[in-house]
Amino acid sequence: MQYQQRLDEAERRFEELTAQMADPAVINDPSLYRKVSKAQSDMVEIVTKYREWKTAHRDLEGARAMLADSDADLRAMAQEEILRLEPQLADVEQQLKYLLLPKDPNDEKNIILEIRAGTGGDEATLFAAEVFRMYSRFAEARRWKVEVTSSSESSVGGLKEVIALVSGNKVYSQLKYESGVHRVQRVPETEQQGRVHTSAITVAVLPEADEVEINIDEKDLRIDTFCSSGPGGQSVNTTYSAVRITHLPTGLVVSCQDEKSQIKNRAKGLRVLRSRLYELELEKQQEKIGAERRSMVGSGDRSEKIRTYNFPQNRITDHRIGLTLHQLNLVMEGKLDPIVDALTNFYQTEKLKEQSEAA
């Protein structure tokens, strides 16, 4: 198999790391133990899959050898085993190719999720609230934590805008293809004649930047405090707990009023600001990448219409990969797995093609 030497080296390294985790010198150094444990954990999936491939390969070779046996029943059993093992081996090989692709350095990160109502007035705000609920349900199923930093409600109970921090295991890897324009087609509750209306919202998924990646100088910030608005009890409108942070060099503005504590709001606001500055850096890097490659890996351009939610037909369509499912009711309950998996497989396949063309 192609890449077998790389896989052998990965397995050896995995075994070394596993042995180190039992070494008292490593166990007694918390910082070193975390580092070794993280490195070992990152390799579990590929080593497990490689060992699965080796077992299937060994069994297939044994079955092929049995084809030369003089016993007709054994030869028939061997043929059945070959028919079972060949597609299994091919599938495992394909999965190993995906696992060997260069990792997106942001895949392990938490995200800043931003949802804003676009065209469609009140109906767009209602849909924005439903989409935020959809992502919240998806996160809940994965035991991720969702923290709202700021939100703005419409008069009909929808959301003009909501910004949230989503933290957990490999959040960005699951949601990085969600950025773009999400279009909804349905009959609004206020529509008297039963006509289907089209509205839109924008979704942005930003990888949360670490402090070491984006260093923010205090002198570049203007921080204003104001009284929070909205639900939260009597103290909300009487204390200056809400925070507005302006990054003077770029003009970026972040507000946070979800917490009653000004210190907590400031900390959350800085997390959002840091991630937006990180996104600006990523965009600068992408400008250096050719248009062809950028389209292959997916630019995450939030101005691109990526998906249509058609309620009368219970249909959801992702326009980038031509995927249509008649399961909109399930998707709106947070069951996004078929779409997330299809997008991941599509972009991984595109990267494989790009890699083979470059070889």
Highest mean pLDDT among 222-226, 302-306, 333-337: 333-337
Cα–Cα distance measured from residue 306 to residue 302, given in angstroms and rounded to the nearest whole number: 9
Task: Determine the pLDDT at residue 59.
Answer: 95
Q: How many C-beta atoms surround the C-beta of residue 195 within 10 A?
A: 8
Cα–Cα distance measured from residue 156 to residue 19, given in angstroms and rounded to the nearest whole number: 60
Q: What is the dihedral of CA 233, 234, 239, 241, to 10 degrees?
A: 0
Q: What is the DSSP letter of 184?
A: E
Amino acid at 263: I
Average pLDDT over residues 92-102: 88
Task: Determine the pLDDT at residue 165.
Answer: 93
- The reply to whether the predicted model has a pTM over 0.85 is no
Domain assignments of the chain as residue spans, ordered by start? 4-100, 111-212+289-358, 218-285
pLDDT of 210 > 90? The answer is no
Q: From 3.40.50.720, 3.30.160.20, 1.20.1260.10, 2.160.20.10, which CATH number describes the 218-285 domain?
A: 3.30.160.20
Average pLDDT over residues 285-292: 54
pLDDT band at 236, cuts 50/70/90? very low
C-alpha closest to that of 151 among 140, 164, 138, 136:
164
What's the topology of domain 4-100?
A: Methane Monooxygenase Hydroxylase; Chain G, domain 1 (1.20.58)
CATH architecture of 111-212+289-358: 2-Layer Sandwich (3.30)
Residue with tokens 């083979």: 356
Packing angle between helix 72-100 and helix 4-20, nearest 10 degrees?
70
Cα–Cα distance measured from residue 223 to residue 225, given in angstroms and rounded to the nearest whole number: 7
Q: Around 275, how many Cα atoms within 13 Å sit in the side-chain half-sphere?
A: 24
CA 119: distance to chain centroid? 26
Question: pLDDT (tens digit, 9 = 90+) per residue, 258-281?
Answer: 777 888 888 888 888 988 888 888
Strands 180-186 and 305-310: parallel
Question: pLDDT (tens digit, 9 = 90+) per residue, 138-195?
Answer: 999 999 999 998 899 999 999 999 999 999 999 999 999 999 999 999 998 766 677 8
The values of phi and psi at residue 212, to 5°, are -70, -20
Q: How many C-beta atoms surround the C-beta of residue 326 within 10 A?
A: 11
